[in-house]
Structure 1
């Protein structure tokens, strides 16, 4: 039986009935009054989310630390990220933002003890996952502890220790770039310093390294790390295709790259799995330094415009008020989407803010509203991993499809943050408190359904009572992102936020770790 949770009961009366099919244009003066009158509500919600984060941390620390993950239903541990304590490192930036001093202190004591030279689990090392979770977590902590959270530093030299560990880890993984093209392999064998040259990589795995490795270079005053990843990024941005592959729309890519030739070997892609964070980092590198990475921004604009103009950002005929991001094979559009692709709403909003382009903001808000509708539609109030809105004959038009205009294809929920992430960006851009309400509602649903035993577990079916079955696995990214974005949407007085205009002081990595931007814009 699930433990009764305070979040299931508190503030339910404060959640109004919201028409998710209509986005109102906020009156800024009225909203200011509304925000002032409800500041205590958002503070209370932020505190409740912080308490949920600390509950999950305590379960992990008690039963799984220093292993990678907690299995909360039976208080066991797992090591899917090489046994280096993924949850601890991933949780650090969130603990700092929340000013959870005891969590910060525990993690800062632990990180200098990690031996990144060997895989403790004996598994191959994922360059991508290790970069975004471990490297990103440590570098972000350096920026935060050297910046507005200096009071949480546990020693005078702790940020030096973090940078040293980040250097050791990146230096250990550099052999991934020893390919004919400089596009890195992803799965690395630390025992032999080898990898399979014939394994293709995706745009996300090879194109989501540049922010972390460039930030490391800036901290070390050593360009070698930045140069490796920027060279790889340039090759992906200027995509080449095998002779028998039909190129997709401008700016939109396939999903498999031959690291020996640099050619894409297929033209099948999407804004979700395998490609998502490549597109995400194009605009985020521009945020990091608008002078040095203006060509990245141009590629991002091209990709967004191609999506908006060629049916990738599609209004299903079953629900013209919705906008979902489709998949593609060449120029053929496939009407399927995913929870992972829901990051794009926030990403497009960010692009609109920094480029001062309201069209991008509106497109992003359309995606945010539609992704939240996948939460509204289910029994648990949580969105599924995947859905379709095809009207082909093979589709069994279920009552669900007739009511909501789409059908669930993958009903699991893996503790993902993307909808909460985009709701946070929508609130920061518009000041419309409905996005705070929606974020709170989504988090309450996650808390009510996924909290079990000593932590939180992924579930198998969002559209049945109690979420179907528990998978007994708590992802480290729940600490890095899911808790963080839910909290930031309510935490008005956080010292780190997405800026509400062109100037940004911080940029959030794909794992939700905030980095100080290189230049003030």
Structure 2
């Protein structure tokens, strides 16, 4: 009997060890799934034209112990706390002012027109501002407003729309990202249920002959079972910026179809990264029909490309470092960018800053176009995150110079606000770049020409050029967040309070120029001291710009970068 009991104990121990090994090899987020009920609908029972038999699985095993991003902040003084809290309250007041304007004049509509008080339909007519602002409401502690918004979301049907087609990219980053983030913060299962409902609709964009996503999803055609065409020309931001949202949806639900869909796209980026004329960089445009991600000859971290690059190091974080391809892709493209894309502009005061430009070989040899888009101002934050988690750590200095390059764009304007797009005179050397007025004038002439034979002073005045600027390509300010995004990350990564001061200086200029009786408005031309307001306010104002400002002046453990990763619409998703 004793021998039998020993055998039984050995068998039990073996079973326990086997069970332990099984659970160790599972992602922690895969072990417990919230109970949600998604009712059958035409989208859940729809027959796929190109069904997939086996889904790629989320990488298993415990997350790696990744280096920390956040600085080990010291205890602030009473004076520092008083200043910080005063500024944070000012941002919260601005958010409340915006929310009340939206609540009273455009409730359940996509956007409020901040001058007229009218509403605007932009993306799906599913209350874009409301859904995009859910996590901001929670983060700022506006519980009553959050609860009211969630109750409204519960009644939104994400399976129908008054629009003819669905913009897959914008819907993913604003709506799906907003729902997932608000769920990760609040654990309210209504939000996850709605995320799954919307995710099932978005998933059909991948039901193509080669499983590359369509950019536009035509409602009636898809439900009728028609074949969807794969675009022969697609911006990489449109196809490469769904990975965070779809991965998080798989982590939360255990349904691998979402992760499988975006991983197929990521695999092509990985396989072809070295094939372009600038190895390491992907061109802005790719041919998804032919699965050619390397042949085009224009490169940028700006619009149409930005978030495809941004999501690479962030996927490394969201997957807990379990999939090495993402860190490898980041290391390759950042080295290429340091060599080819980043340049130092000539500044009157000798600031040592960097700008992310534009590369093209369309008209011959590879050429750097010395321009910068406000959309590209996220790069400083991306490089800071990469420097601290993937390396090299020394790139943190480059990240700071990139963020300062965009701050220079703000402080150079008489309004104090950076234009949407401008070009600057590049330095001939990054190590030494003294101000040279003659060289600046020559660069202005080269960029603009002088068909009316104006004097240089007249040419500069006609185009409202600040010193070092050679063209204002687009003088608007659209309430964009990207410069503040990088300032937020640099502050959290370095603990340097200069970033808080720069953020506050930017905010004072923005508030003065954009505030209306109802909310805040876009600007027509920031090269003027008092820019004309435009009757438009996109949802990223409350989702991103005001959120980043609020977090810059929060206590640093609120939405720690060591616990959360932000999607490109500033929706924080919980890291494993």
Q: Do they superpose with TM above 0.5? A: yes
CA RMSD of aligned residues (A): 2.2
C-alpha deviation, 1:218, in angstroms: 0.9
Question: Higher mean Cα deviation, 350-359 or 268-277?
Answer: 350-359
SS class of match (1:507)? strand
| Residues 1:227 and 1:100: Cα distance change in structure 2 (over 3 Å) | same
The residue number in structure 2 matching 1:164 is 193
**Superposed displacement of residue 192, structure 1:** 1.4
Deviation, 1:282, is: 0.3
Equivalent in 255, 271, 277 of residue 307 of structure 2: 277
Match of 1:185 in 2: 214
Matching residue of 1:224: 257
Displacement, 1:423? 0.7
Which residue is equivalent to 1:371?
Answer: 406
Deviations 1:399-448 (A, max 9, x none): 66562355422110001000111111111112111110111111121111
Tell me the residue number matched to 2:419: 384
1:62 matched residue in structure 2:
104
Aligned residue number for residue 16 of structure 1: none
Q: Corresponding residue for 1:395?
A: 448
Question: Partners in 1 of 2:125 and 2:214 — Cα distance?
Answer: 21
Match for residue 339 of structure 1?
Answer: 374
Q: Is the 8 A contact 2:250 2:259 kept in 1?
A: yes
Distance 2:231 2:556 in 1: 50
* Match status 1:141 vs 2:182: yes
Cα contact 1:96–1:104 (8 A) shared by 2: yes
Q: Counterpart in 2 of 1:7? A: none
Q: Secondary structure at the match of 1:466?
A: coil
Across the two proteins, how many residue pairs are aligned to each other?
Answer: 466
CA contact (8 A) 2:270 2:325 kept: no
Contact 1:255/1:275 (8 A) holds in 2 = yes
Q: How does 1:12-411 map to 2 (within 5 A)?
A: 32=74, 36-120=78-162, 122-146=163-187, 159-193=188-222, 195-198=228-231, 200-239=233-272, 247-264=276-293, 266-310=296-340, 312-317=341-346, 321-330=352-361, 331-355=366-390, 357-390=392-425, 391=443, 393-395=446-448, 398=460, 401=465, 403-411=467-475
Name the structure 2 match of 1:512: 570
Alignment partner of 2:549 out of 486, 490, 493: 486
Deviations 1:114-156 (A, max 9, x none): 1111222x2421111001000000111111113xxxxxxxxxx
1:69–1:79 Cα contact (<8 Å) kept: yes
CA 63–401 in structure 1, closer or farther in 2 if over 3 Å, else same: closer
Structure-1 separation of matches of 2:321 and 2:550 = 32
Is the partner of 2:446 in helix, strand or coil?
Answer: coil
Corresponding residue for residue 428 of structure 1: 492
Q: In the superposition, relative to structure 1, how do residues 454 and 314 fare at CA in structure 2: closer, same or farther (>3 Å)?
A: same
Residues 130, 38 of structure 1: CA spacing in aligned structure 2 closer, same or farther, 3 A cutoff? same
Deviation at 1:335, TM superposition (A): 1.2
CA distance in 1, matches of 2:390, 2:282: 23
2 CA distance for matches of 1:355 and 1:291? 10
Report Cα offsets for 1:277-328 as digits up to 9, x if no partner: 0110000011112433321121111111111123x10113567723111111
Question: CA–CA distance in 2 between the matches of 1:282 and 1:326?
Answer: 20
Greater than 4 Å deviation, 4+ residue runs: 31-36, 317-320, 399-402
> Contact conserved, 2:313 with 2:330, CA < 8 A, in 1?
yes
Cα displacement string for residues 224-267 of structure 1 (whole angstroms, at most 9, x for unaligned residues): 111001111211333389xxxx9331221112222211114522
Unaligned runs of 5+ in 2: 1-70, 426-442, 450-455
Report deviation, 1:357.
3.3
1:336-395 per-position Cα deviation (integer Å, ceiling 9, x unaligned): 111011000011001112135322211110001111011101121111101112526243
> Which residue of structure 1 lines up, in the alignment, with residue 534 of structure 2?
471
Q: Deviations over 1:481-502 (max 9, x none)?
A: 000001100011653122xxxx
Q: Which has the larger radius of gyration?
A: 2
TM-score, normalised to structure 1, is 0.85
Could you say if the C-alpha distance between residues 442 and 376 of structure 1 is closer, same or farther in structure 2, counting changes exceeding 3 Å?
same
Task: Output one character per residue of 1:79-137: Cα deviation in whole Å (capped at 9) or x when no partner.
Answer: 101100000000011111111112211211111111111222x2421111001000000
Query: 1:42, 1:490 within 8 Å by CA — same for their partners in 2?
Result: yes
Query: Structure 1: how far apart are the matches of 2:334 and 2:251?
Result: 29
Bigger Cα displacement from structure 2, 190-199 vs 165-174: 190-199
What is the TM-score with the length of structure 2 in the denominator? 0.77
Q: Is the 8 A contact 1:203 1:236 kept in 2?
A: no
Alpha carbons 1:185, 1:199 under 8 Å: kept: no
